[in-house]
Amino acid sequence: MKRRVRFLDTRPLRSSPPFRALWIGTSASQAGAQIANVAVLAQVWDLTGSPVGTGAIGLATGLPMVVFGLLGGALADTVDRRALVRATTAGQLLAAAALCAQALAGNRNVLLLLALVAVATACAALGAPARRTFPVRLLPPDQVAAGLALNNVSFQAAMLAGPAAAGLIIARWSYPAAYATQAAAIAVALAAVLRLPAMRPEGTRAPGGGRRRAERGGWRIVLHRKTLWGSLATDLSATLLAMPIALFPLVNEVHFDGNPRTLGLFLSAVAAGGITAGLLSGTVTRIRRGGLVQLTAAAVWGVALACFGLAGPLWLALACLTAAGAADTVSVVTRSALVQLETPDAYRGRVSSVEHVIGVAGPELGNFRGGLVASATSATFSLVTGGLTALAAIAAVAAANAPLRTYRTPTPKTPAPDTPAPSTQPVSPAPPGS
């Protein structure tokens, strides 16, 4: 039977009002974050006039993201996840209000600005692992990938539209308006979280009925399950070995005379590919062989970036980047769904924090690797060897991990008439020694 090409799978928005409200709030928050990111970048540049100053933004966001992301994973397995996200979102709202206040006051202290950015990032990272578990609790298993695809589309749309909107807002009303816009967007997200049902971790009750203390070991849980470590290793292979963003300026300088419009097209091509894949994701999210889909998409990412390194004309380079962006979106959606569905609910917070750290550290280290290799050789050599090495690493994961290759998304059980619907959580034994 021939598989039909389907557009964006909107079943989660129709079947789950809580997920629909969460998606609207998350989409608003992502757009506000992009606007604030541009405002912070521009304000730091105004205050310092130095690339070291703008580079410090990465330090102010990267460290809190890793440290508080791991802490948030442990908390997400011990407390009501809705309450945790509600508190951290409120913290983000206060940080956005503080950013607006410092801009209104004409702050000239860059350290104060970076400190507020670090606080906002810490709040977001603390709630990120718990927030990642929401779709699998609100949706049946066969709609989790579709829900994550919807989240990815809204993120890609924010990446495209947010910076442009920020430029218009800053040009007309300056920095306070940009930060106020972010605060309003976060308020929408907070209202959505308040409407969610309570979400305590399942499977954490002690034999006597009390709360069982959360065990340590998110990394050990991942390593114990072949589907989990295989999925995360596939993602790490793709980003660590073939991340191209840091090489864009050099490629643009060598092959396209350093035209800034061309550099912008590189970034837009990746985002355009991601949005296109998201809008057509209904085809992918209905495929139950999620592990095989992720492996294939990650391989396409590596091949596309190797071809980008060899591409001569601009149209071919942009086509390669568009293909890479589309493959990345498919890989991210299928990986996220697999990780959430394969992890017992009692451990989802810690495993989500591991996924969060890999998702943050992999691309950054990959960009660093690409820059080092290019500085010793050339951008072409770095891109081609990176893409082919990633392809080889992904093939090795596929060869060594049969459970990932053969993984199938669980199907929802149909409840008997006049009986409560069963939980949509996959029933899995707790990993030993975790």
For residues 182 and 273, give the distance between their C-alpha atoms in angstroms, rounded to a whole number: 26
Which carries the bigger pLDDT value, residue 12 or residue 260?
12
Average pLDDT of 367-376?
83
* pLDDT score at 259: 73
* pLDDT score at 431: 37
* 233 shares a domain with 88: no
* 224 shares a domain with 162: no
* 269 shares a domain with 130: no
| pLDDT tens digits for range 22-76 | 999 999 999 999 899 888 888 988 898 876 777 677 778 878 888 898 899 889 8
* 309 shares a domain with 190: no
* 266 shares a domain with 156: no
For 201, the 3-state DSSP assignment is coil
Assigned domain for 356 exists: yes
For residues 342 and 236, give the distance between their C-alpha atoms in angstroms, rounded to a whole number: 18
* 178 shares a domain with 29: yes
Assigned domain for 205 exists: no
Which carries the bigger pLDDT value, residue 181 or residue 3?
181
* pLDDT score at 203: 61
Is the confidence at residue 128, as pLDDT, over 50? Answer: yes
φ/ψ region of 174 (left if φ > 0, alpha if ψ in -120 to 50, else beta) reads left
Assigned domain for 123 exists: yes
Q: At 288, which CATH number?
A: 1.20.1250.20
Which carries the bigger pLDDT value, residue 218 or residue 13?
13
Average pLDDT of 228-236?
92
Assigned domain for 173 exists: yes
* pLDDT score at 77: 87
Residue 19 burial (10 A CB sphere; 0-12, 13-18, 19+): buried
For residues 279 and 154, give the distance between their C-alpha atoms in angstroms, rounded to a whole number: 10
Least confident of 14-28, 204-218, 306-320: 204-218
Is the confidence at residue 429, as pLDDT, over 50? Answer: no
Task: Report whether 317 contacts 267 (CB < 8 A).
Answer: no
* 253 shares a domain with 296: yes
* 239 shares a domain with 137: no
For 76, the 3-state DSSP assignment is helix
| pLDDT tens digits for range 319-344 | 999 999 999 989 988 888 888 888 88
* pLDDT score at 216: 53
For 294, the 3-state DSSP assignment is helix
Assigned domain for 1 exists: no
* CA 403, 408, 412, 416 torsion-angle sign: negative
For the chain, the average pLDDT equals: 84
Locus of tokens 């979106």: 329
* 229 shares a domain with 126: no
pLDDT interval class at 264 (50, 70, 90): low
* 224 shares a domain with 179: no
Assigned domain for 425 exists: no
- Most trustworthy range by pLDDT among 47-56, 142-151, 174-183: 174-183
* 277 shares a domain with 188: no
For residues 169 and 182, give the distance between their C-alpha atoms in angstroms, rounded to a whole number: 11
* 249 shares a domain with 173: no
Is the confidence at residue 206, as pLDDT, over 50? Answer: no
| pLDDT tens digits for range 296-318 | 999 999 999 999 999 889 999 99
How many distinct structural domains can be found in the chain? 2
**Contact partners, residue 292, CB within 8 Å, separation at least 6:** 405, 406, 407
Instruction: Name the DSSP class of 346.
Output: G
> Which residues span the domain enclosing 307?
218-410
Q: Which of 197, 231, 257 is the last residue of a domain?
A: 197
407 backbone dihedrals φ, ψ, rounded to 5°: -60, 140
Which carries the bigger pLDDT value, residue 190 or residue 277?
190
Assigned domain for 125 exists: yes
* pLDDT score at 38: 84
Bridge partner list, 205: 211
Q: How many CA atoms lie within 13 A of 361 on its CB side?
A: 15
Assigned domain for 431 exists: no
Average pLDDT of 388-413?
90
